[in-house]
Amino acid sequence: MSDHAGTTTTTTQAPPARAWLMLIMATVGFALNFWAWALLSPLGPLWRDDGSLGDLTEGDVALLVAVPVVVGSLGRIVVGALTDKYGGRIMFPLVSLATIVPVLVIGFWAQSSLLALLITGFFLGIGGTTFAIGVPFVNAWFPPSQRGLAIGVFGAGMGGTAISALTTVPLYETSHSLPFVLTAVALGAYAVAAWLVMRDAPGHTAPAGSLVSRVVANSRLSITWLLSFLYAVAFGGYVAFSVYLPSYLKVAYDLDPGDASNRMAGFVVIAVICRPVGGWLADRLGAIAVLAGCFVIVAVGATFASFTPILEHVGTFSFLGMAAALGAGSGATFALIAKVTEPARVGGVTGIVGAAGGLGGFLPPLLMGYIYGRTDSYAWGLLLLAATAVVALILTITVVRRKQAAPA
């Protein structure tokens, strides 16, 4: 595979004025769908404590918040390939409308049992696939020199999980259906606006071949799997903390659900701010240097956090440092994808890499719940994160660096 720095849409160094509007619309859609995707996370600890779903264990809560993550992750493979073919103008409204259904089912009917929530949570995962729509959509509108920044700005839409963290519990305490109704209304309004405003970049052409053949072809690129692992650590770490941090803080530091959700929102905000920063730095310093620095910070932060230090000092610094590094690392990863992948394949490759990132967020909550259940401590789980970050660092400065220099 060669370094396809060109694009089918523009060869100049300045994007067309309409590109910024398209970027804003894509980012808003990503944020709203991620808001829906993360609705169950703040409510898991609350349901465990009030007993409304029976005697939930820590493992039950971890499974409840992890199911939408894995579905949204695997769904990106298909949705990314479909975006290459049909374009973001069709896929954004379609996925947003599809996400409304499980949101409303949970809001009005599925809160009666854990099984009902797990089933509807499976379909709630649809909202998590929008990432694989936005990356190729935005990539096609911007020239190579600005793709890292543009995709980083789009990636800041992952802050939709902060909206969920800040609003879900207070709204739920007012009415058990209120957070779900508001989310559904927002998604419906966005779907209409997206259909009316969004347009695919000039020159967009559907790739040849069936969906399956294109997925298989993209999966055969070696850089796809290397970047999948790096993204599984960077974005997967972000997703894992964004869905599991309220439960962790409740158990490890005895915080109430509202306080824990607010602190998780702070983690998310830092990561969101740093994602476009990571893309911007990758445009200027190179993605390899940015990724290497991020993985060092994650390894150090996770090691400190494993000792459960006092939260107001070392603990807060450790988690916010990891948030910044995970956000910047996520932005840098996709800045690299945009530079080494031909435009017609960006959606498909993004789908696979994005799936790996989401799956990277699926395992840690389950693992943390399992480890705590066996040891009454989260230390080993955090040390495993530190070790994984070290492995990612080594791969980044060796194999991935060589692949970037001489892509194949």
What is the distance between the alpha carbons of residues 336 and 345, in angstroms, rounded to a whole number? 14
Q: Choose from 103-112, 140-149, 213-222 the range with maximum mean pLDDT.
A: 103-112
List, for residues 178-237, the tens digit of each pLDDT value: 999 999 999 999 999 999 999 999 987 777 777 788 788 888 877 889 999 999 999 888
Size of the chain, expressed as the number of residues it contains: 408
Neighbour tally for 402: CB within 10 Å: 11
Q: Choose from 10-24, 317-331, 342-356 the range with maximum mean pLDDT.
A: 317-331
Cα R_g (the chain), whole angstroms: 20
- Residue ranges of domains in the chain, CATH in brackets: 17-200+211-405 (1.20.1250.20)
Q: Is the pTM of this model over 0.85?
A: no
Q: Which residues of 186-200 are buried (b: 16+ CB within 10 A; e: fewer)?
A: bbbebbebbeeebeb
Per the model's pLDDT, the better-predicted residue between 406 and 139 turns out to be 139
Q: How high is the pLDDT of residue 6?
A: 36
Which residues fall within 8 angstroms of residue 52, CB to CB, at 6 or more apart? Answer: 111
